[in-house]
Amino acid sequence: MKKFRSLASRCALVLSACAALASGQALAQQQFVNVLTGGQSGVYYPMGVALSQIFAKDIPNVRSTAQVTRASAENLNLLQAGRGELALSLADSASDAWKGDAEAGFPNKLDKLRGLSATYNNYIQIVANADSGIKTLADLKGKRISVGAARSGTELNARAIFKAAGLTYADMAKVEYLPFGESVELMKNRQLDATLQSAGLGVASIRDLATAVKIVVIPVPADVVAKVGDAAYQVSVIPANTYTGQTADVPTAAIPNFLITHSGVSDDLAYRMAKAMYDNIDTLYAAHNAAKSIKRENAIKGMPVPLHPGAERYYKEVGLIK
């Protein structure tokens, strides 16, 4: 009987050791995908949440999360440091990061950045309280405005647009560097006259503002867009009725957004992220109206950084790259 118990004990130990080994191997194989987004009142955040859900469901042994950040510039620096696997970024921010543009907040070239896919366009949306008297870019002189978090993609866009329009921050009575949601709250309380937000159409923050106060959407004329001198800035419009009280099309600039990863992400994982995204594109479309302009045929157009080899493999597989 003692021998039997001893044998049973040894078997139990062996089984326990095997289970622990299998568990350890499973943990070793598990991969983490941290999707770097933006503020919760923008478009990056719901997009990033949808992507993280897609990856967790579609890619074996992946744990995926979406992280709130200050968007483009911070996202790119976090990628370079290996503190995220995928990020949303404006095209001009990614281009500046790849070149190492110190004025844009990138004193050193972020050489680990790699492209995964184009997504949708951001639109420069300058919105003023109707009672502020602001109707044109020139009317911003002497007014109080928020231009997004300091050195964020939105703030870099603001600098570019104002410079092209012959304006500087010194022309304004007050310049605040705030996320979208906080900017809107100050506008509701009449502590700001205007906000510049670079985001997808129908962004939640401006929809919220337009239902609370009467707004004016300020045009960015085509000649101003041309004077920016950056191919990433395209002449576009904010269609009528995008926001409550906006009854006519408003000219502005559009800037593409990209999904950026880094060279430390394995080819297999980058391939699986690209494939999972397009295999589940309806999930992205449901996350935000802005996502509905994402098309696989446009995935590598205007890519501001080198394409990740794993993503390249996927696009070759689907015939996008010959």
On average, the pLDDT of the chain sits at 92
Closest CA to 89 of 130, 56, 43: 43
Closest CA to 113 of 90, 155, 85, 92: 85
> Looking at residues 80-92, what average pLDDT do you find?
97
CB count in 10 Å sphere of residue 12: 10
Q: What's the pLDDT tens digit per position in 276-313? A: 999 999 999 999 999 999 999 999 999 999 999 999 99
pLDDT band, residue 21 (cuts 50/70/90): very low
β-pairing, 174-176 vs 144-146, is parallel
Which residues contact residue 270 at a Cβ distance below 8 angstroms, ignoring those fewer than 6 apart? 114, 116, 261, 308, 309, 310, 311
> Looking at residues 204-221, what average pLDDT do you find?
97
Architecture of the CATH domain 123-255:
3-Layer(aba) Sandwich (3.40)
Share of the chain above pLDDT 70, in %: 91
Report domain extents, the chain: 31-121+256-317, 123-255
Confidence check: pLDDT of 151 > 90: no
Residue indicated by tokens 């790699």: 114
- CATH number belonging to the domain at 31-121+256-317, selected among 1.20.1640.10, 3.40.640.10, 3.40.190.10, 3.30.70.1350: 3.40.190.10
Q: What's the pLDDT tens digit per position in 228-264? A: 999 999 999 999 999 999 999 999 999 999 999 999 9
pLDDT band, residue 25 (cuts 50/70/90): very low
Least confident of 38-42, 94-98, 175-179, 201-205: 38-42
> Looking at residues 106-131, what average pLDDT do you find?
97
Closest CA to 53 of 223, 227, 284, 246: 284
Rounded CA separation 67/236 (Å): 30
> Looking at residues 217-229, what average pLDDT do you find?
97
